[in-house]
């Protein structure tokens, strides 16, 4: 039988529930337990696939093609496991299931209500992952903040489970904020007391309180929180700000969060935590030997969360290369042929990000041209690869009107075109080419050197593809399709061999990079950028030279 941990949040949003949940999961995993995490999101969208990145940040795609909350990315990066369709539940999905059942007549003439029908479906989803004997522990992170109207049915479902499951099979962690009032030089526990009170009024009694704080909590404060929030003092956990999210598991271990959880869940068989690879990674991350600047060209650059997995992949790949990767966001809409050199000249590498629609397209193409011509390492992901194809078509192969039909459906030179099976689809939710597909890698190519394998599997999220009508023209002109889908011949990787590093991929490698398994494409791109930087340092700047003489 699996055991269940619920993580709720209080006082304010953005406290890092996902990171705390992932850190606890990591510690339990390091002690030899089989752990997974799921996210329960109280919004009514069926999934975040149709949401603008400005709303909830990046949409994370799982192996089985679910479009999910970006917290699943944290779970995978921390735990080095794959999540699935079942790991992200939304209110939209819950209602969809209940309403479909009602239409089928499954409720036998009863009035369908939030309690018990919606809460029953929530409970079914909460317990689902624990039913196949695949996991010892299922952690469920409840999105939103306690007190939100939207999350009430989820809290109610936990309340019911508290009575339905044996005491030792369920645990509630409440994450809260202890604000520090500078003027009074005091940490304040009142918001936490209120938030726990609100939770208790709904019949849910937290076993552990994790306190986000900018200042250390002393014993007295811990005792006070314990007293007012009805938990043992040892179950009041301090979660200070960390220099990197990857340090949080160790901070939680210092606070004995894992041991407190194991005790309450009455788990007696566990090992000493093995975090050797994790610590090795952290060491490299904290003490880099070099620094490089990578430009990230996108149109959602104001919002870091929009490119979460890419940023984290750079953290992993930077550690492997023992260098700090400074990612510099550059808005594609503001790049022009006149300013491109100024904007990009100090970079060591350029990444053109995934995206949709036509806004900022020309800026991306201009940036690719600069990277290709100046020998700046280039990495294009999904839309980024498509832009590289258009740029090469226009400026090297002389296909002046090269374009994507996403930007101009009537273009005379559709080097990027909508995939055939997409042409009949009109609905937007979950209808792209999603999830993991195999890809054959051509021997002798850069991609082959990077992957060291003739077949790979990567995750996708797109509607458009390289138009194979142009394949021969591109290949004879110096841009090679080094990765192809074995069944359809869909181009998955495009590269220019005669360049220090120029690779574009139709898939999303950033979705598969984890701390313990950094992605090879990111590792090699960072290595190329590092080499570019070293070369720059070794070559005296002619401008400086002339000034000196
Ligand atoms: N908009 C492009 C497509 O649908 C690229 C998608 C992406 O970058 N994820 O093919």
Segment holding 263, helix H or strand E: helix 257-264
Distance 339 CA to ligand 1 centre (A): 26
Residue nearest to atom 5 of ligand 1 (CA): 383
Catalytic annotation, pick one of 510, 519, 524, 532: 510
Per-residue confidence band for 520, with pLDDT thresholds at 50, 70 and 90: very high
CA 476/CA 497 separation, integer angstroms: 12
Is residue 356 in contact with ligand 1, taking CB distance under 6 Å? Answer: yes
User: Which residues contact residue 174 at a Cβ distance below 8 angstroms, ignoring those fewer than 6 apart?
Assistant: 7, 8, 9, 10, 146, 195, 196, 199, 206, 208, 209, 210, 229
Take atom 8 of ligand 1 and give the residue whose Cα is closest: 354
Looking at every residue in the chain, the average pLDDT score rounds to: 94
What pLDDT shows up at residue 173?
97
Atom of ligand 1 nearest to the CA of 406: 1
pLDDT at 541: 62
Q: Is the pLDDT of residue 549 over 50?
A: no
**Structural element, H or E, at residue 324:** strand 323-331
388-435 residue pLDDT tens: 999 999 999 999 999 999 999 999 999 999 999 899 988 888 899 999
Among the ranges given (70-74, 303-307, 358-362, 538-542), the one the predictor scored with the smallest mean pLDDT: 538-542
Q: Which residues pair with 543 in a beta bridge?
A: none
At residue 48, the pLDDT reads 87
CA distances for 87 relative to 67, 70, 356, 416, 536, angstroms: 11, 12, 26, 33, 46
Question: What's residue 540's pLDDT?
Answer: 65
Q: Choose the residue to mutate in 49, 406, 417, 459 for probing ligand 1, maximizing ligand atoms within 8 Å of C-beta.
A: 406
Instruction: Using the predicted structure, report yes or no on whether residue 442 has a pLDDT greater than 70.
Output: yes
Residue 3: closest CA among 257, 271, 261, 199: 261
Check residue 50 and give its pLDDT. Answer: 85
- For residues 247-268, average pLDDT: 97
> Which one is catalytic: 59, 382, 439, 505?
382
Whole-model pTM?
A: 0.94
Q: Which residue would you say has higher pLDDT here, 189 or 303? A: 189
Give the tens place of pLDDT for each residue, 505-516: 999 999 999 999
Render pLDDT for 100-123 as a digit per residue (tens, 0 to 9): 999 999 998 899 999 999 999 999
pLDDT in tens, 269-303: 999 999 999 999 999 999 999 999 999 999 888 78
Whether residue 467 is predicted with pLDDT greater than 50 in this model: the reply is yes
Q: Determine the pLDDT at residue 546.
A: 47
Percentage of the chain beyond pLDDT 70 is 98
């Amino acid at each position: 039988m699996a055991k269940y941990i619920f993580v709720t949040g209080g006082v304010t949003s953005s406290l890092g529930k996902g990171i705390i949940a992932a850190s606890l999961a990591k510690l339990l995993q390091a002690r030899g337990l089989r752990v997974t995490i799921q996210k329960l999101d109280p919004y009514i969208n069926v999934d975040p696939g149709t949401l603008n990145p400005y709303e909830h940040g990046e949409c994370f795609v799982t192996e089985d093609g679910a479009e999910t909350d970006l917290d699943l990315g944290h779970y995978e990066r921390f735990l080095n496991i794959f999540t699935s369709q079942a790991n992200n539940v939304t209110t939209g999905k819950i209602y969809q299931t209940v309403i479909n059942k009602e239409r089928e007549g499954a409720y036998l003439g009863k009035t369908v209500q939030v309690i018990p029908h919606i809460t029953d479906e929530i409970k079914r989803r909460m317990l689902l992952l624990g039913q196949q004997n695949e996991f010892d522990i299922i952690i469920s992170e409840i999105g939103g903040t306690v007190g939100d109207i939207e999350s009430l049915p989820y809290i109610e479902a936990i309340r019911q489970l508290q009575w339905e499951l044996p005491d030792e099979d369920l645990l509630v962690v409440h994450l809260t904020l202890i604000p520090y009032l500078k003027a009074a030089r005091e940490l304040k526990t009142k918001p936490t007391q209120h938030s726990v009170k609100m939770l208790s009024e709904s019949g849910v009694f937290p076993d552990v309180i994790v306190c986000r704080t900018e200042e250390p909590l002393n014993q007295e404060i811990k005792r006070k929180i314990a007293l007012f929030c009805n938990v043992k003092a040892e179950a009041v956990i301090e979660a200070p700000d960390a220099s990197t999210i990857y340090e949080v598991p160790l901070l939680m271990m210092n606070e004995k969060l894992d041991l407190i959880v194991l005790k309450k869940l009455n788990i007696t068989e566990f090992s000493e935590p093995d975090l050797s690879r994790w610590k090795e990674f952290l060491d490299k991350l904290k003490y880099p030997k070099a620094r490089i600047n990578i430009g990230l060209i996108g149109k959602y650059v104001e919002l870091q969360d929009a490119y979460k997995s890419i940023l984290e992949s750079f953290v992993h790949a930077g550690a492997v290369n023992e260098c700090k990767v400074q990612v510099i966001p550059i808005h594609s809409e503001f790049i022009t042929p006149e300013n491109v050199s100024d904007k990009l000249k100090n970079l060591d590498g350029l990444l053109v990000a995934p995206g949709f629609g036509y806004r900022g397209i020309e800026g991306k193409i201009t940036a690719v041209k600069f990277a290709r011509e100046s020998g700046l390492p280039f990495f294009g992901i999904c839309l980024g690869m498509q832009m590289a194809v258009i740029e090469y078509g226009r400026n090297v192969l002389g296909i002046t009107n090269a374009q994507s039909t996403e930007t101009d459906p009537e273009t005379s030179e559709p080097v990027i075109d909508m995939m055939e099976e997409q042409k009949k689809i009109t609905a937007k939710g979950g209808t792209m080419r999603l999830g993991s597909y195999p890809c054959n890698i051509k021997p002798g190519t850069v991609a082959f050197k990077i992957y060291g394998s003739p077949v790979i599997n990567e995750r996708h999220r797109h509607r458009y593809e390289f138009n194979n009508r142009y394949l021969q023209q591109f290949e004879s002109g110096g841009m090679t399709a080094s990765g192809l889908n074995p069944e359809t011949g869909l181009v998955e990787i495009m590269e220019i061999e005669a360049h220090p590093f120029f690779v574009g991929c139709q898939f999303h490698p950033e979705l598969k990079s984890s701390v313990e398994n950094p992605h090879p494409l990111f590792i090699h791109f960072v290595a190329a950028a590092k080499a570019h930087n070293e070369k720059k340092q070794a070559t005296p700047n002619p401008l400086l030279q002339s000034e000196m003489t």
